[in-house]
Structure 1
Amino acid sequence: MPVHPQHTVCWFEIPVSDLEKSIAFYDAVLDTNLTIDNNGPNPMAMFPTSDTTNGISGHLYPGTPSEHGSTIHLVAPDDLAATRKRVEAAGGKVESPDIPLPSGAFFYARDLDGNSIGFFQFNS
């Protein structure tokens, strides 16, 4: 049976070469205040959302910008191991092991066109 999550997209991330300059850029353009979060493997500048429980947002992080654009994270329809197998069976490429976060875990992959995507599983 097909899975239909409440939200298909759960996160986005934008790699930037200069985190402080990029924070200033997005703050000015979006008239907002990104905040620094050091809970993950890298410092992140978080985009605020008014719905802190169910809002969909993302972050900037220090990294090398991809030639194929930013990474969007999609909700995995089941556990990450099963999703990983389907990525490979459909011709995609898994690029990382599971990466744990306080709210769940995810892995990076590439689709058929080389786009960076993450598949996220929330903690139950």
Structure 2
Amino acid sequence: MNINVASWFDIPVTDMQRAKNFYQTLLATTFKDDEMNGLQMAIFASEEGAVSGMLVQGECYQPSSTGTVVYFNGGEDLNLPLDRGLQNGGSPILPKTPIHDGECGYFALLSDSEGNRIGLYSPS
């Protein structure tokens, strides 16, 4: 039985290369490029069995600042990816914020290079 609630996510983009640069810098990750049915896709590198997703550009995919929020793993120190994101075209929405006085970790919200609202989470 899969214990993850989510199994996949799509992040809409309008400029694939700009978005890939943003997320590669933010998360220190790589992508596998693909195309299907007129959609341009960049799939996040992930370990076997891990929940993952992709950047996707196509007519029916529009970035949104008010839609669903995907929270990314911010590692041990949320400040590191948050700073990288803000220095690479992201805009602050909510700074690093403790959850229950920090007992449950920290989160932050920012706007990505495409205008999507995204989150970061870390235990410290």
Tell me the TM-score range normalised by the shorter chain.
0.3 to 0.5
